[in-house]
Amino acid sequence: MFKASSGRSFTFAFLLVDGFALMSFASAIEPLRAANTIAERELYRFICVSLDGGPATSSVGAQMPCQAKVGDAIDADILLVCVGGRPWDFQDKKTLGWIRQLSRRGVRIGGVSGGPYVLARAGIMEGRHMTIHWEHAPALSEEYPELLLTRSRYIIDRDRLTCAGGIAALDMIHALIAEEYGKVFATQVSDWFLHRDVALATAPQRASLTQRYGIHRQDVVYALELMESNIATPLDRSAVAARVGLSTRQIDRLFASLLGTSFADHYRAIRLERARNLLLQSTLPITEVALACGFANASHFSRAYSAMFGIPPRRDRIQAGRQVKPRQPAGKA
């Protein structure tokens, strides 16, 4: 039988920005509903907030009714900002100011999926460790290099909660329920969703390189790790070979047999994929994108980009609708 360690209930407010990731939102709110059902009393209240008080539209077009709008004096213990696939585009000054106001009032502020990007833009992440979905991390790091950003599934740092999204939100809410009502009850809630293997906050967001490439040779996996970790200043082939204990001839043979490409071509593809991510998800000038991904100049970068993606970088950015606007310091949007 459930026995609460506290007689009070907690209120979660979910700020839903149109296009919010439905799976991330469901993974965050459903455990709260289940906790109430299992406990047979209201441990958690939750309200949904939109920019104008009307229904918010999710990533798949489903509409969520909202009970409040940005600017309202909500009574909440925790605000979770839920943003979908283009968080770098969100620059609504009223919303950013409202988030700062709630923060000053002592409300715990969190972000799910792309939500941590909005928290950074609101200027409330100084001195706090944080995470974000791996797809958005390069752009966030380039725009706000001072952030204490890691690739964890979720991070709870005092009054800030950030989560990479997806099912990682289940893990974060599990931790919050355990924080207040104990691990035994939190496990009961997780069992409700067949969530048997609750991940640690520090667990990786993505599948391992072995899983992604289907490669089990540790020397080649280590080489790939070195390549993905050294984008701005690429390592040469001999340096990578020496660090993984192979000759350059061996590394050439293994890349050809296991990956079907050369070391140089694969390294270039890794850097160009990162460059495209930055190009479409940040306001960095193309020259800065090129330098951040290890290309000596914009013309060299443009030729390589066009060869891989079939379109020059500038045109790709325009077609994606990414308008380059002057960057503003955090908290000044």
228 vs 204: CA distance, rounded Å: 15
43 vs 204 pLDDT, higher one:
43
Render 264-316 in DSSP notation, one character per residue.
HHHHHHHHHHHHHHHHHHS---HHHHHHHTT-SSHHHHHHHHHHHHSS-HHHH
Least confident of 43-47, 81-85, 239-243: 81-85
**pLDDT at residue 327 in the model:** 43
**pLDDT at residue 204 in the model:** 61
134 vs 113: CA distance, rounded Å: 9
What secondary structure letter does DSSP report for 152? B
Pick the CATH number of 10-192 from 3.40.50.150, 3.40.50.2000, 3.40.50.880, 1.10.287.70: 3.40.50.880
**pLDDT at residue 130 in the model:** 92
In the predicted model, is pLDDT for residue 266 greater than 90? yes
Strand partners, 21: none
Supply the pTM of this predicted model. Answer: 0.71
The Cα diameter of the chain in Å comes to: 68
- Buried residues in 141-169 as b, exposed as e (16+ CB within 10 A): bbbbeebebeebbbbbeeebbbbbbbebb
Give the CA-trace dihedral at 329, 315, 86, 284, to 10 degrees.
-20
The two three-digit tokens of residue 318, written as one number:
């325009």
122 vs 114: CA distance, rounded Å: 13
303 vs 166 pLDDT, higher one:
303
3-state SS record for 46-63: EEEEECCCCCEEECCCCE
In the predicted model, is pLDDT for residue 323 greater than 70? no
Count CB atoms within 10 A of the CB of residue 326: 5
Rg (CA), the chain: 22
Listed in order, the ranges of the chain carrying CATH 1.10.10.60 are 209-319
Listed in order, the ranges of the chain carrying CATH 3.40.50.880 are 10-192
Q: Which of 170, 137, 167, 168 is nearest to 151 (CA)?
A: 137
Could you tell me whether strands 78-83 and 68-69 are parallel, antiparallel, or unpaired per DSSP bridges?
unpaired
Question: Model confidence over 123-132: pLDDT tens digits?
Answer: 999 889 999 9
**pLDDT at residue 150 in the model:** 85
Question: Model confidence over 103-149: pLDDT tens digits?
Answer: 999 999 999 999 999 999 999 998 899 999 888 888 888 888 888 88
Long-range pairs for 315-318: beta carbons < 8 A, 24 or more residues apart: 316/276, 316/279, 316/280, 317/279, 317/280, 317/286
297 vs 316: CA distance, rounded Å: 18
Count CB atoms within 10 A of the CB of residue 245: 11
The answer to whether 176 and 28 have CB atoms below 8 angstroms apart is no
Strand partners, 155: 162
Pick the CATH number of 209-319 from 1.10.10.10, 1.10.10.60, 3.40.630.30, 1.10.630.10: 1.10.10.60
pLDDT average, residue stretch 238-259: 92
Residue type, 45: R
In the predicted model, is pLDDT for residue 329 greater than 50? no
